Amino acid sequence: MSTNKDKLVIFDTTLRDGEQSPGASMTKEEKIHIARMLERMRVDVIEAGFAIASQGDFEAVQAVAETVKDSRVCSLARAVGPDIIRAAEALKKANAPRIHTFIATSPIHMKYKLQMEPEKVLQQAVEAVKHARQYTDDVEFSLEDGSRSEPEFMYRIIEAVIKAGAGTINIPDTVGYGEPEEYGAMFRRVIENVPNSDKAIFSTHCHNDLGLAVANSLSAVMNGVRQVECTINGLGERAGNASLEEIVMAVRTRQDLYPVDTRIDTSHIVPTSRLVSSITGFPVQPNKAIVGANAFAHESGIHQDGVLKHRETYEIMRAEDVGWGNNRLVLGKHSGRAAVKARYEELGHTFDDAGEFQVIFQRFKDLADKKHEIFDEDLHSIIAGTEEPVEHYRLASLDVHSRSGQNPRAQLQLMIDGEEFAAEAEGSGPVDAAFKAIESVVKSQADLKLYSVNAVTQGTDSQGSVTVRLERNGRLVNGVGADTDILVASAQAYLDALNLLSNGESKAKGV
């Protein structure tokens, strides 16, 4: 980080707000994998979850707090006693804990959601901050729906919570309503009008409903904000959040403009993006800035000629600086356990016992027999297919017949809690036939909401990565399957989703 620049704190909320994307729930183990990568990337603050939301969220926050040592670990908490106590319990073993408490401050939220008068909201906010300070000296306070709050009330509540002990003040654009010039000016006015504003770091948390999350965040930085809350791949509820990789690389690339820099090790951006995509089942669009497959691709002959002559004619940053090309160690069928395990550890995966790794290594060998080269993306896919808490449903075999002019027919052998079942069905396509065959046995009563296929790596022998989103009783889950046979991958993904529905529990989500 440049010595003459202010530090921009990077607060990653992939594990909390990112997980609120419909179908993006993560297991405790998956959260630990991502947290390790964020720590390796040198993220300043990792918001690990909303501890009171469920027992699973509590245990995930607790596990991340115990694992991460070089980043602050944070839990969200509403401005009420039980939330704050639960957050403090989850963070008890954190090396550097932060409690992030919030309450809505916009007229529409106070009137219709909270059904509270502004004075009561102010009082509750102050009490919550004082309560949180009993457990840690690092307390963040957020004004939910801050971008639609009345300025004078914001000034009062911010002054009061800073006086009560809040060291970070976050004014989020909760509904993605902000516009860059307007949003940045709001922070400038707040900092100018709050008497003790110099006693806190101001923070931004922007949603992307109008596609302005990154622009709004950077505008806020230009107006005095020194913490940005963001997520890997812009993951988040509705249209997502400000993208960490875009914030970091905008600041890094335009050092002539921004008065700040980060401590982020950008070489881990692409591997972390792939890990999050693999775990959540949300593919990264090819033209996504920084981490998309086409982000550094040049098809135009004029562009190619310019890049070959002088890279900076068409590239404003180096692909290797964000992790493209850095992690291309190619493994194959002759690779041994040590090499595979070492690569997994570099990608943020560790194994508690030899038996766990043996399952992974066998899947690696099976895949290596099918394709010549195994890339990092393949390794993530192998992990993604082995982490179910209880495997109620498993594909034993699949046989699909498809011919022009005839309805495809699928025949399969399915293991359900160790018992084998045979099924067959016709469908409008081979995948439809496979899914109908599964349902003829399982009868899950789940609705298929999404079916997505992506190539994991390049080449005709690439694994196909399939995401299946199912909904049952209001709960959405993403199942993921990967195989060089796309039909097998599809059936695996469907069963993966069914396993998640069987094992999971609904979570209450926060702001």
Tens-place pLDDT, residues 272-314? 998 898 788 788 888 999 998 787 764 434 333 443 444 455 4
**Pair 252, 309 in one domain:** no
Identify whether 236 is part of a domain. Answer: yes
pLDDT, average across residues 302-331: 59
Q: What is the pTM of this model?
A: 0.80
Identify whether 432 is part of a domain. Answer: yes
* The pLDDT of residue 327 is above 50: no
Identify whether 331 is part of a domain. Answer: no
**Pair 306, 353 in one domain:** no
pLDDT in tens, 407-439: 999 999 999 998 999 999 999 999 999 999 999
**Pair 443, 364 in one domain:** no
CA-based R_g, the chain, Å? 24
**Pair 101, 142 in one domain:** yes
pLDDT, average across residues 344-369: 80
pLDDT band for 386, please (50, 70, 90 cuts): low
Question: What is the span of the domain harbouring residue 141?
Answer: 6-280
**Pair 365, 398 in one domain:** no
Identify whether 166 is part of a domain. Answer: yes
If phi > 0 it is left, if psi is from -120 to 50 it is alpha, else beta; for residue 168 that is beta
**Pair 265, 400 in one domain:** no
Domain count for the chain, please give it.
4
Neighbours of 192 (CB within 10 A): 10
pLDDT in tens, 207-224: 999 999 999 999 999 999
Give me the pLDDT at residue 349, please.
74
**Pair 249, 379 in one domain:** no
Give me the pLDDT at residue 494, please.
94
pLDDT, average across residues 448-456: 81
Give me the pLDDT at residue 302, please.
39
Burial of 334 by CB count in 10 Å (0-12 exposed, 13-18 middle, 19+ buried)? Answer: exposed
**Pair 443, 304 in one domain:** no
Q: If you search the block for the tokens 């002019």, which residue do you land on?
A: 405
pLDDT in tens, 244-254: 999 999 999 99
Q: Return the minimum-mean-pLDDT range out of 56-70, 122-136, 237-251, 275-289.
A: 275-289
Neighbours of 404 (CB within 10 A): 4
Contacts of 311 (CB under 8 A, 6+ apart): 318
Identify whether 332 is part of a domain. Answer: no
Asked if 137 and 101 count as a contact pair (C-beta separation under 8 A), the reply is: no
Identify whether 286 is part of a domain. Answer: no
Indicate which CATH number applies to the domain containing 399.
3.30.160.270
Identify whether 256 is part of a domain. Answer: yes
**Pair 164, 127 in one domain:** yes
Give me the pLDDT at residue 190, please.
98
Q: Which residues pair with 141 in a beta bridge?
A: 101, 169
**Pair 376, 490 in one domain:** no
pLDDT band for 113, please (50, 70, 90 cuts): very high
pLDDT, average across residues 166-171: 98
Which among 396, 409, 400, 403 has a CA at the least distance from the CA of 486?
A: 400
pLDDT band for 480, please (50, 70, 90 cuts): confident
Identify whether 131 is part of a domain. Answer: yes
Indicate which CATH number applies to the domain containing 58.
3.20.20.70
Q: Which residues pair with 12 in a beta bridge?
A: 46, 230
How far is residue 364's CA from residue 351's CA, in Å, rounded to a whole number?
A: 15
**Pair 315, 451 in one domain:** no
Give me the pLDDT at residue 297, please.
63
**Pair 247, 306 in one domain:** no
